[in-house]
Amino acid sequence: MSTGIEIDEATFAALPDTLILSRCPLCGLEHVWWKNEAWLEPTRYDRAPPREGSHDEPE
């Protein structure tokens, strides 16, 4: 489950291996987790809007 935390790899690697408390973006409650139980999701890029005159533009 996502914590909603946005962090780069270097900062994540520097986190201490301790219990971490974070507020859940889905339920609003606080959950605890250990760094060694977490991972980074690959960056997802949203598809850019179609350019004017492209074939992807709705008619």
| pLDDT at site 55 | 58
pLDDT value of residue 10: 94
Bigger pLDDT: 12 vs 57: 12
Written as one string, the DSSP assignment of the chain is --------HHHHHHS-SSEEEEE-TTT--EEEEEGGG--PPPP--PPPPPPTT-TTS--
Is residue 11 in some structural domain? yes
Cα(22)–Cα(25) distance, rounded to whole angstroms?
9
Q: Considering the domain boundaries, does residue 25 fall inside one? A: yes
* Confidence tier at 49 by pLDDT (50, 70, 90): low
* Residue 18 resides in a domain: yes
Q: What is the pLDDT of residues 33-48, one digit of tens each?
A: 898 888 888 877 666 6
In a domain, 2, yes or no: yes
Domain that holds residue 24: 1-41
Residue 13 lies in a domain: yes
Number of domains in the chain: 1
**Do 57 and 50 contact (CB within 8 A), yes or no?**
yes
> Does 55 fall in a domain?
no
Does the pLDDT at position 58 exceed 70? no
pLDDT of residue 20: 87
